[in-house]
C-alpha cells in the first residue's frame, strides 16, 4: 500500500505543485496550465513505470527464483536439506495455512519489483525536480530536500526487502538496475530531459521572425512568405533600374 502511494500519488502532487509555482497569472490560469502540464509529465512517467514493471514481470515469469522463505511457505515433500547437490523439480507443497497465490509468489524472487519501482520513481523525480523546480522554487534547500526524500525512499524500500527475507541481495540489485535504466530511458526518450514547448525559448513567437531568418540564411521561403519575398525582389529591381539624373546648379539658374 505504501509503495502504491509513494509511486503513483506522490509524483502527481509534486508535479502539480512545481508546475503551479512556475506559472504566473490569475489563480484560474495557474490551475489550468499546471494541470495540463502535470498530466503530460505524469503520462510519460507512467509509461516508463509500466515499461519497467513489464520487464520485471517477464523476468519473474521466465527465471522464477525461490524466495528466502520458500521452504517455510511451501513446506515441500520431500523436504530435503540441500545436500544432494541436485536441483529438485518434483515436490509438493503441503502448507495449507496460506493460499496458493502466496505459494506461487514464493517462487518469484528474481528480480525485485519493489526495488525496481522505487528506484525508478526516485531517479525520475530527482531528475524532474532538478530540471523543472530548481529555477522556480525560491529556497535553495527545497530541491535537495525533495530529492533526498526520494533517494531515502528508494534505499529504504530496497533494503527492507532483504531484511524482511522477501528477496536475496542480487534480486534487489538487479531490480534496482532495471528501475534506474527505465527512469533514464523515460527521461531521455519520453520527456527529452524535460525540455519541452513550455520553456521560454519554445514559447517565443518564432513564426513572426522565421521569414527574416530564412532570408538572411539564404533559404527559399514557402507559401505566402515566398510571394512576399518575390514582391520585395521586384520592388528592389525596379528601384535599381530607375535612372536618376542630377542637374547641375548653374543650369537650374
Catalytically annotated residues: 114, 167
Give residue 92's region: left, alpha or beta (phi > 0; psi -120 to 50). beta
**Ranges assigned E (strand) in the chain:** 76-77, 92-93
- Answer yes or no: are the C-beta atoms of 40 and 190 closer than 8 Å: no
The set of residues, in sequence order, having a beta carbon less than 8 Å from that of 67 and lying 6+ positions away, is 73, 105, 106, 107, 108, 109, 165, 166, 167
Cα(first)–Cα(last) distance of the chain, in Å?
103
Do the strands 92-93 and 76-77 form a parallel or antiparallel pair, or are they unpaired?
antiparallel
Q: What 8-state DSSP symbol labels residue 134?
A: T
Query: CA-to-CA distance for 157 and 208, rounded, in angstroms?
Result: 52
Grid coordinates representing 153 are 525512499
Amino acid at each position: 500500500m505504501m509503495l502504491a502511494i509513494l509511486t503513483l500519488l506522490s509524483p502527481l502532487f509534486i508535479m502539480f505543485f512545481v508546475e503551479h509555482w512556475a506559472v504566473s497569472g490569475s489563480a484560474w490560469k495557474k490551475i489550468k496550465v499546471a494541470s495540463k502540464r502535470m498530466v503530460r509529465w505524469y503520462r510519460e512517467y507512467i509509461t516508463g513505470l509500466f515499461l519497467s514493471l513489464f520487464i520485471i514481470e517477464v523476468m519473474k515469469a521466465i527465471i522464477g527464483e525461490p524466495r528466502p522463505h520458500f521452504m517455510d511457505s511451501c513446506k515441500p515433500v520431500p523436504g530435503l536439506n540441500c545436500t544432494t547437490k541436485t536441483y529438485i523439480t518434483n515436490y509438493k507443497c503441503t502448507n495449507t495455512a496460506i493460499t496458493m497465490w502466496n505459494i506461487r509468489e514464493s517462487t518469484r524472487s528474481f528480480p525485485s519489483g519493489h526495488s525496481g519501482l522505487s528506484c525508478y520513481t526516485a531517479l525520475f523525480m530527482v531528475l524532474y525536480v532538478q530540471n523543472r523546480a530548481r529555477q522556480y522554487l525560491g529556497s535553495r534547500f527545497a530541491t535537495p530536500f525533495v530529492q533526498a526524500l526520494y533517494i531515502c525512499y528508494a534505499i529504504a524500500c530496497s533494503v527492507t526487502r532483504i531484511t524482511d527475507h522477501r528477496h536475496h541481495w542480487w534480486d534487489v540489485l538487479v531490480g534496482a538496475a532495471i528501475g534506474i535504466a527505465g527512469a533514464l530511458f523515460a527521461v531521455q526518450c519520453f520527456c527529452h530531459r524535460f525540455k519541452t514547448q513550455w520553456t521560454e525559448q519554445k514559447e517565443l513567437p518564432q513564426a513572426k521572425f522565421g521569414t527574416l531568418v530564412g532570408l538572411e540564411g539564404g533559404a527559399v521561403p514557402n507559401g505566402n512568405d515566398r510571394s512576399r519575398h518575390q514582391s520585395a525582389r521586384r520592388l528592389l529591381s525596379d528601384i535599381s533600374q530607375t535612372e536618376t539624373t542630377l542637374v547641375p546648379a548653374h543650369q537650374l539658374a
